Amino acid sequence: MSNNIESLQKEDRIFSPSPEFSATAHIKSMEEYETLHAQSIADPEAFWADQASSLTWQKPWDTVLDWSDAPFARWFDGGKINAAENCLDRHVAAGKGDNIAIHWVGEPGDTRDVTFSELLTDTCRFANALKARGIKPGDRVLIYMPMVPEAAVAMLACARIGAVHSVVFGGFSATSIKDRLEDSEATAIITADGGWRRGSVVPLKANVDEALESYDAVESVFVLKRCENEITMTDGRDVWWHEVTADVSEDCPPEGFDAEHPLFILYTSGSTGKPKGILHTTGGYMTGTATTFKYIFDHQPDDIYWCTADVGWITGHSYIVYGPMANGATQVMYEGAPNQPDWDRFWQIVADYKVTIFYTAPTAIRAFIKAGDHHVEKHDLSSLRLLGTVGEPINPEAWMWYHEKIGGGRCPIVDTWWQTETGGIMITPLPGATPLKPGTATRPFLGIDAAILDETGEECGPNEGGKLVIRKPWPSMLRTIYKDPERFKETYWNEYEGIYLAGDGARTDDDGYFWIVGRLDDVLNVSGHRLGTAEVESALVSHDAVAEAAVVGRPHDIKGQAVVAFVTLKEGIDHGDDLAAELRNHVGTEIGAIAKPDDIRFAQALPKTRSGKIMRRLLKEIVSGGEVKGDTTTLEDFNVVASLQKED
Ligand code: WTA
């Protein structure tokens, strides 16, 4: 019996880019992609060196890649670079200082436009304020901010002076802040009094204060005034952003740091246990994010780009701050929730700013579908020319909705597969070249050698499920897990010698397109058949009544595991007596009897991480023991779990 993951999903719909889109795109055809990809894989160092040379280096590198101490890579050794200079100074020097960097929209409706010149001045002033408080290259600075332009300024100011930022998502609690402070040994925090979320003020500063009750190594807390909510300031330690930047010089020359100088640590939860501090460095990360942003979002000078992620996630780091800004892009930044005041907020913003490129997560798309099309239909979305998704496999039916309702049938969708660890997008369509199929991230990006391997390390054939790996190092790869090189080796490099294990199950189809079938930890084993979660979930979501689905296994005497599906329905639909049976049959017809859920449980909501990924681990605990014992600190809303347990 094979130990590989079986794959049953079929998708025949194909959407090719329009000739008009391809005509102006950076990469115009599949032939061009295939030629470039083959060359880039034959000599990745030449490809990446060529890309790196579009950045501004204060000193050129001596070697492109040093892999002698694998898996600890060194890219562009000997080179000196400043990330902030690449995002700001060079655009101002090129005469683009008056271009808008950020069209900012606050949740309550306040707005601000910030030019590249202004962003540079703000960054220099704040960098000088950091220096004045004794912050030096290599020091760790925790950032806990709302989605305001100053969040980007804070990151860029750290980068400018070589301090290592660690951004903590503004929705995380005091405990999460404390854990990250302890692990990173940060000595400074940048925060705000509060931030707006769903009409209320998130008490950011109060959360910081609580974290600092049991961590005393922080010498400075910089506080931005955003919501004017009442806070306490501790003398000597806490300073107001507007005060420390008031009389400070706006001259702060960007020092060149070693290409391998750490740029940031970003904590990611991993499926179990303690968060991992993913460490990224400067030269390679900037090369990876700048290159992928340009080609994958086909960025052109007139584009208005909007990525709806929070800067607290890797998507915000790579595709709000470093990638777009390195390209001098004009973007929209929105502070608040997608349903504040109502479910059409995003579409209102797209119409107001004539957004051309829109990048969001499948979880958001499913929420919009659930809320109903009338919210979309109110607004003119004709400015959009390209859409993107990231974070989870997108169910083909959600893809179709996104394509038709948001993209008006005309916009290519880049379904981008990547991870906090990879730093940048790895598997993705190129919008002017790749014929799209709903549900697949399609082909590896240039310079990326992705493959699917079986248990023995052999490459899987078409439609054979296996483990997704990257066979050659790439510049924006993580360098280590902060302070835990053993865990870094163990987690990513132990399965196959010299090869990066992503932890996702996947298959390629007959066209060599990559389909992610789910996390390897979540794979089901039904009567000896190993099934990914994504396919069964997509089959459920393809039923008209279903908004969202998560499937997990529970122990079963005969089959090994039985399939349990948690299903949420679209607004206004009731499950009645027959829907469960109908859904089981629907899965049977869509992918086969083997995948038919044994139980279907209707739920109001599914447990998710704060970045919107379904936490199947918790559902597994519910179906096998009835109680959730594992770590729940990254869970968005514990009430969801509590109500699922009650129904048990
Ligand atoms: C999943 C987010 C399918 C995958 C940038 C990966 C995806 C994990 C996709 C990383 C996609 C992300 N299709 N699955 N387009 N994008 N994933 O670290 O399981 O938050 O390993 O990085 O999300 O999540 P992370």
- How close is the Cα of 427 to the center of ligand 1, in Å? 10
Residues ≥6 apart with Cβ < 8 Å to 581: none
- Amino acid at site 241: W
Residue nearest to atom 4 of ligand 1 (CA): 392
Segment 99-128 shows an average pLDDT of 98
Which residues have any ligand 1 atom within 6 Å of their CB?
A: 268, 314-315, 390-393, 415-420, 441, 502-504, 516, 519, 611
Q: Is the peptide bond before 341 cis (omega within 30 degrees of 0)?
A: yes
Q: Are 153 and 147 in contact (CB under 8 A)?
A: no
C-alpha 96/C-alpha 93 separation (Å) is 7
Q: What is the pLDDT of residues 525-578, one digit of tens each?
A: 888 888 899 989 999 999 999 999 999 999 988 888 999 999 999 988 988 889
Q: Is the whole model's pTM more than 0.75, yes or no?
A: yes
Q: Are 2 and 460 in contact (CB under 8 A)?
A: no
Q: Are 491 and 291 in contact (CB under 8 A)?
A: no
Counting from 1 in the atom list of ligand 1, the atom nearest the Cα of 428 is 15
Lay out the sheet containing 500-508: strands in order across: 450-453, 466-470, 500-508, 514-519
Residue nearest to atom 7 of ligand 1 (CA): 392
Q: What is the pLDDT of residues 476-504, one digit of tens each?
A: 999 999 999 999 999 999 999 999 999 99
Counting from 1 in the atom list of ligand 1, the atom nearest the Cα of 389 is 15
Determine the distance from the C-alpha atom of residue 435 to the mean position of all C-alpha atoms in its chain, rounded to a whole number: 24
What pLDDT score was predicted for residue 402?
98
C-alpha 391/C-alpha 406 separation (Å) is 19
What pLDDT score was predicted for residue 559?
86
Q: How far is CA 382 from CA 338, 367, 411, in A?
A: 20, 22, 10
Q: DSSP states of 512-552 as a string? A: --EEEEEEGGG-EEETTEEE-HHHHHHHHHTSTTEEEEEEE
Residue among 153, 547, 225 nearest 371 (CA)? 547
Strand partners of residue 105: 111, 334
Residue among 614, 616, 617, 624 nearest 648 (CA)? 624
DSSP state letter for 442: B
Segment 118-128 shows an average pLDDT of 98
Q: What is the pLDDT of residues 299-340, one digit of tens each?
A: 999 999 999 999 999 999 999 999 999 999 999 999 999 999
Whether the pLDDT of residue 278 is over 90: the answer is: yes
State both tokens at 88: 């700001």
3-state secondary structure 256-319: CEECCCEEEEEEECCCCCCCEEEEEEHHHHHHHHHHHHHHHCCCCCCCEEEECCCCCCHHHHHH
Q: Which CATH class is domain 523-647?
A: alpha beta
By DSSP bridging, strand 257-258 and strand 80-81 are antiparallel
What pLDDT score was predicted for residue 415?
98
State both tokens at 224: 């931005």
Number of residues written out for the chain: 648
Q: What is the pLDDT of residues 608-620, one digit of tens each?
A: 988 889 999 899 9
Given the structure tokens 């190993």, which residue do they identify?
Answer: 530
Q: Are 477 and 498 in contact (CB under 8 A)?
A: no
- Count of beta carbons in the 10 Å neighbourhood of residue 573: 15
Q: What is the pLDDT of residues 27-61, one digit of tens each?
A: 999 999 999 999 999 999 999 999 999 999 999 99
Counting from 1 in the atom list of ligand 1, the atom nearest the Cα of 516 is 3
* Residue 646 pLDDT class (50, 70, 90 cuts): low
- How close is the Cα of 21 to the center of ligand 1, in Å? 27
Q: What is the mean pLDDT of the chain?
A: 95
Percentage of the chain with pLDDT > 70? 98
For helices 44-52 and 282-296, the axis angle rounded to 10 degrees is 90
Percentage of the chain with pLDDT > 90? 86
C-alpha 410/C-alpha 236 separation (Å) is 57
Residue among 80, 70, 177, 187 nearest 477 (CA)? 70
What pLDDT score was predicted for residue 647?
56
Per-domain residue ranges of the chain:
523-647
Whether the pLDDT of residue 381 is over 80: the answer is: yes
What pLDDT score was predicted for residue 648?
47
DSSP state letter for 356: S
- How close is the Cα of 15 to the center of ligand 1, in Å? 23
Counting from 1 in the atom list of ligand 1, the atom nearest the Cα of 519 is 19
Given the structure tokens 């994958």, which residue do they identify?
Answer: 296
Q: Are 329 and 292 in contact (CB under 8 A)?
A: no
By most ligand atoms within 8 Å of CB, the mutation choice from 5, 360, 418 for ligand 1 is 418
Q: What is the pLDDT of residues 189-236, one digit of tens each?
A: 999 999 999 999 999 999 999 999 999 999 999 999 999 999 999 999
Residue among 71, 290, 336, 339 nearest 195 (CA)? 336
Whether the pLDDT of residue 1 is over 80: the answer is: no
Whether the pLDDT of residue 403 is over 70: the answer is: yes
What pLDDT score was predicted for residue 440?
97
Whether the pLDDT of residue 272 is over 60: the answer is: no
